[in-house]
A and B are shown apart, each in its own frame.
Chain A
Amino acid sequence: MNLAMGAYGFYVWTAVAVFFIVLLIDTLAPLARRRRNLRELRARIARQENRRRPGTPSNHESQP
Chain B
Amino acid sequence: MANWVPLWLHRLGSPPVFYRFAGAVRPWALGLAIALGAVALYAGLFVAPADYQQGDAYRIIFIHVPSAWMSLFIYGAMTLAAFVGLVWRIKIAETVAMESAPVGAAFTFITLVTGSLWGKPMWGTWWTWDARLTSELVLLFIYLGIVGLYHSFEDRRQGARAACFLVLVGAVNVPIVHFSVNWWNTLHQGSTVRLVGPSHIEASMLWPLLTMMAATKLYYIASLFARVRADLVASEGGKAWVRELLAREDGAA
Contacts and interface: CB of A to CB of B under 8 A. Distances in A.
A63 B67 CA distance: 42
A8 B121 contact: yes
Given A7-B121, A30-B227, A38-B246, 12 more contacts: A1-B46, A8-B57, A11-B117, A12-B45, A15-B114, A30-B99, A31-B226, A31-B230, A37-B230, A37-B233, A38-B249, A45-B246
B59 A5 contact: yes
Tell me whether chain B's interface is mostly helix, strand or loop, or mixed: helix
A56 interface: no
Interface stretch (B2-10, B105-113, B131-139): B105-113
A2 interface: yes
Given A23-B219, A38-B233, A42-B246, A18 B113 contact: yes
Given A15-B64, A16-B41, A23 B106 contact: yes
Interface of B: 30, 41, 45-46, 50, 55-57, 59-60, 63-64, 67, 99, 102-103, 106, 109-110, 113-114, 117-118, 120-121, 219, 222-223, 226-227, 229-230, 233-234, 237, 242-243, 246, 249-250
B24 to A, nearest CB: 15
Interface in A26-60: 26-27, 29-31, 33-34, 37-38, 40-42, 44-45
Contacts of B121: 7-8, 11
Nearest to A38: B233
Contact of A5 (B57, B120, B230): B57
A15 B113 contact: yes
Contacts of A33: 227, 230
